[in-house]
Structure 1
C-alpha cells in the first residue's frame, strides 16, 4: 500500500467482489493509505475487476459464491494469519475522507476487552444522501480484531459478531453505488429471495441460524432484528408493508430526503418488503400444492439450494 499519510499497520481490508469494475478502484483508493493490506475475494468477475484490484496493489483470491456469509467467512479465514485488525468494506462503498476519526485512531482507542468497532454507514441514492426515514444513524460492526470475529450464517441481513465487547467510533463508510436503477432493482430482487429464505426459516427452522449475542454485536442490529422477528413478522403481510413505509416516510420524516428520498423509501421500504412477502407466499403455496418441503419449494422458485441437514 501507499506510504502517503499514516498507515495503520496491522489493519487489513477484505472486499468481496463480482464484476465491480465501476467501483473497485474508488473503494481501494479510499482506504489504501490507512491500512497495511487489502485482499479482494472474487467470485468470478469477467469485467476487469481482478486486474484493476491487482494493479492497485490488492491481493486477489478467487472463491466460488454460495452466499455473503460463507464468502466473508472464507475471507476471514484466509486473513487470520495476518493478525491485527480486519476491516470489511463493500466494493461500492468508500471510507469517508472527511471522517473525524482515522482507522489507526479507532484501533488505538479500543480497550483491552474491545474486539469490535462500530462505524457509521451512510447511504446515497440517486445522488443524494438519505438521512431520514430511520436510515441514520446506522451503526455497523465493520472493524474487528483478527481471529475474534466471524459473520453469522444467514442468507440476508448478516452481521459480524465478535467474542468480546464492541464500541462506537467516528469512522464513516459511505455506500455510493454508481450503477443504474435497473441494476439496483435487479439486485434487490435477488435480496428479496435471500430474505424470504431467512424469514421462512424463522418460522419453519429448516436451517441452523445464528443469533446475535448480547455483546459482541451491534446493539442497533440486535434491536432491529428483535423488532422484525417479534412484531413485524407477526403482523399480516399486506398491513405490515404499508405500515412500515408510512412509519419511515411520515413518522420518521423520510419526506425530508426530497425526491430521491421518496423513490428510495418507496422502493426499499414498500416495494422491496412487499416483494419479500410475495415470494414467501409463492413458496408456501407451491409447497402446499405439490406436497413438497419448504426447502424444495425455495429451490424451485428461487434457484437457491438450502441445506436441510
Structure 2
C-alpha cells in the first residue's frame, strides 16, 4: 500500500453482485493505489461479500435500483475524498495505469480539472481485443462530490450509464482491463438482458428495417472500421456478437412497440 498525504486521498468504489470470477483481480489491482475501497453489494450469494471483507474493503448492502442510481450512490460514499476511482467488479488496472494514478495523487492538480479518463480494453476468450471497441475512454477518476451519473430513459434505466463532471477532464496513461464475458454464451446472454432493458426503458424507437440494417452496420463498424479483423478469430467472434446483440435489441424493441399499439 502506498502512503498518501491528506491532500491526495483517494477512495475506490465498486458495485458488486456475484462477481467471484473477477473480484480478486479487481481488488488486487486497486491495492497499490489506495487502502480505501468501498464495495456496494446488491445481494451476492457466491462468496463475493466475504472475499471483499477479508480483503479489507468496506462492504455496504443496497438492493439493485439500476446502474445509474447504484453508481451515483457509490460516488456519494466517496464525496469526502479528494479523488474517487470508479471501477466495476469486472475491471482491473494494469501497472501503467496504477503508476499514472499514483503520480496524480503525488502532485498538485489544477483546480479546474475535475476528472480523468483512461482507456478500457476488453479481455475476451483468454486474450485482448486490441481493436474491437477501441478506443474506449471512460471517465472514472473524479474529484469527490462533483460527479453525477446519467443514463438513457426514465431514471437512466435504459442503460448506457455515464459519469459526468463540469470543468476540464484530462487523460491518464495505462489500460483498464474489462473482463466482462466468460465466453460467447455469457456475451449473448448479456445482450439479451440489455435488449430487454432497452425495449422497456429506452425512448428511442426502432423500425422493422433496423432489425437487419443496424446489426450489419454494427458488424462493419467493429470488424472493418475499428479493425477487428486484426484481432483474428477472437475479433470476428466479438464483432459478430455485437451484431447479434444489436439484432436482439431491435427485435425486442419492435416486439414491444407492436404489443403497445
TM-score normalized by structure 2?
0.88
CA gap of 1:164–1:98, structure 2 versus 1, over 3 A, is closer
CA-to-partner distance for each residue in 1:102-156, whole Å, 9 max, x for gaps? 31323536421011101111111111211224x2221110000010001114231
Unaligned residue ranges in structure 2 (runs of 5+): none
d(CA) in 2 for partners of 1:136, 1:252: 7
Residue 100 (structure 2) pairs with residue 102 (structure 1): yes
Per chain length, whose mean CA-contact separation is higher, i.e. which structure has more relative contact order (CA < 8 Å, sep 6+)?
2
Separation in 2, partners of 1:113, 1:239: 43
Name the SS for the 1:279 alignment partner: helix
Aligned pairs for 1:49-198 (under 5 A) are 49-80=48-79, 82-99=80-97, 101-107=99-105, 108=107, 110-133=109-132, 135-153=133-151, 154=156, 155-177=158-180, 179-198=182-201
**Could you say which residue in structure 2 is the equivalent of 1:226?**
none
Residue 47 in structure 1 maps to residue 49 in structure 2? no
Does the aligned pair in 2 maintain the 1:6–1:34 contact within 8 Å? Answer: no
- Is the Cα–Cα contact under 8 Å of residues 157 and 195 in structure 1 kept in the other structure? no
1:250-269 matches, within 5 Å, as: 250-268=224-242
What TM-score comes out, normalization by structure 1 length? 0.75
In structure 2, what is the Cα distance between the partners aligned to 1:186 and 1:73?
Answer: 26
Contact 1:101 1:169 survives alignment (8 Å): no
Gaps of 5+ in 1: 204-232, 289-309
Q: Judge conservation of contact 2:92–2:176 (CA < 8 Å) in 1.
A: yes
Alignment counterpart, residue 277 of structure 1, candidates 237, 250, 256: 250
